[in-house]
Amino acid sequence: MELTIVVVVVVVALVFDYTNGFHDAANAIATSVSTRALTPRVALLMAAVMNFVGAFLGQRVAETVAEVITLPAPDTTSIAVHGLVVVLAGLLGAIAWNLVTWYFGLPSSSTHALIGGLVGAAIAGGVTVKWDTIVEKVVIPMLLSPLFGFAAAFAVMIAIMWIFRRKNPAKVNRGFRVAQTLSAAAMALGHGLQDAQKTMGVIFLALVTGGFASREDGLPLWVIFSAAAAISLGTYAGGWRIMRTLGRRIIDLDPPRGFASESVAAGVLYTTAFAFQAPISTTHTITSAVMGAGATKRFSAVRWGVAKSIVSAWILTFPAAGLVGALGYWLAHFVFEIAP
């Protein structure tokens, strides 16, 4: 029984990883495509490759995700199945929210959808939630990273405008179109570093709960490879609805602003992953950076109505995914009777 449910959880986790890829493909490439620095297919291929590579660069974020909830030791079959159902329900909550926000073209956070789904399922299943980890590693970075992304992108763009103030605008734009190839690649690498690890953490949690691994073990290579492959395939599939929102609906970007927003967002992703082991939202980071760089044109150039809708989706993500995760657990518990 445990093996069957573990296999199901792993498959569903990789489905989530795939939806994460196509949902968040816009994070890495929307600005480069919108400024015509890269063609859509070239940008998607580059993002897929860099996502795959980034997944192999670290495991600390995965460890943090695996510690968000504390499942009971799998002493008996019923206890192990109960823990696995909690993980499965959390994944279903995250997938549901990813699909809803993708349909409406809203760049919400797959990170917070995943953690929200896990927390909702854990609460419904009477499992311990490590609130100190959530506050320190999720909530605080969730609040600070968009603010920093906005301010840093604004400052970087001001510096670019000052440095190139006497240069020919056409030549500057051509130069930054080339530079955007590098900044988009850096952003895609950071996305793989952050988001693929979150799926790895959930799969590892399922393996520990099913008794197929211990918390002292390192991540198996097959877990890293499968998560990297799933998010890369999802990225190549593309997320055109969200790409339009990030690339055009917030503000019409030019190459310098695209470069500024991508560079700042990539820097935030690397810093939080390596220095703080915090699973931050790549979506929040790049969106706020786009707003910050765009605001240097003039504050009214940012379409704040669209930004308001995006922020609303951000606020709703954690509780909405948590609610679906809780419903998924209750469905499994009361209808299918596979949890105690």
Enumerate the H helices of the chain as residue ranges.
2-34, 40-54, 60-66, 77-103, 110-124, 131-134, 140-163, 169-191, 197-209, 221-237, 240-244, 255-275, 282-294, 304-331
Closest by Cα among 151, 107, 141 to 280? 141
Residue 308, CB-side half-sphere exposure with 13 Å CA sphere: 3
pLDDT digits (tens, 9 = 90+) for 163-180: 998 889 889 988 998 898
Cα end-to-end span (Å), the chain: 14
> pLDDT by residue (tens digit) across 264-273?
999 999 998 8
Residue labelled with tokens 């979506």: 283
Angle at 146 between CA 45 and CA 27, to 5 degrees: 10
| β-strand pairing of 128-129 with 69-70 | antiparallel
Helix orientation angle between 282-294 and 110-124, rounded to the nearest 10 degrees: 140
Q: Which residue has the higher pLDDT, 144 or 40?
A: 144
For residues 180 and 258, is the Cβ–Cβ distance under 8 A? yes
Mean pLDDT calculated for residue range 97-120:
82
Question: Which pLDDT belongs to residue 304?
Answer: 62
What is the Cα gyration radius of the chain?
20
pLDDT per position as a tens digit, 212-232: 888 777 789 999 999 999 988
Q: Is-contact 14 199, C-beta < 8 A?
A: yes
Confidence label for 339 from pLDDT (cuts 50, 70 and 90): very low
**22-31, 43-52, 153-162, range with the lowest pLDDT:** 22-31
Q: What is the pLDDT averaged over residues 123-130?
A: 88
Instruction: Return d(Cα 97, Cα 101) in angstroms, integer.
Output: 6
- Percentage of the residues of the chain whose pLDDT score is greater than 90: 22
Mean pLDDT, residues 232-249 taken together: 65
- Boundaries of every domain in the chain: 2-327
| pLDDT band at 239; cut points 50, 70, 90 | low
Amino acid at 150: F
Cα–Cα distance, 194 to 188 (Å, whole number)? 10
The average confidence (pLDDT) of the chain is 82
Query: Position 334: which residue type?
Result: F
| Stretch 306-329: mean pLDDT | 80
Q: DSSP letter for 128, please.
A: E
| Length of the chain (residues) | 340
Tell me phi and psi for residue 69, to 5 degrees.
Answer: -125, 150
For residues 192-196, average pLDDT? 86
Q: What are phi and psi of 18, to 5 degrees?
A: -65, -45
pLDDT for residue 316: 83
Q: Pick the residue with more confidence: 285 or 24? A: 285
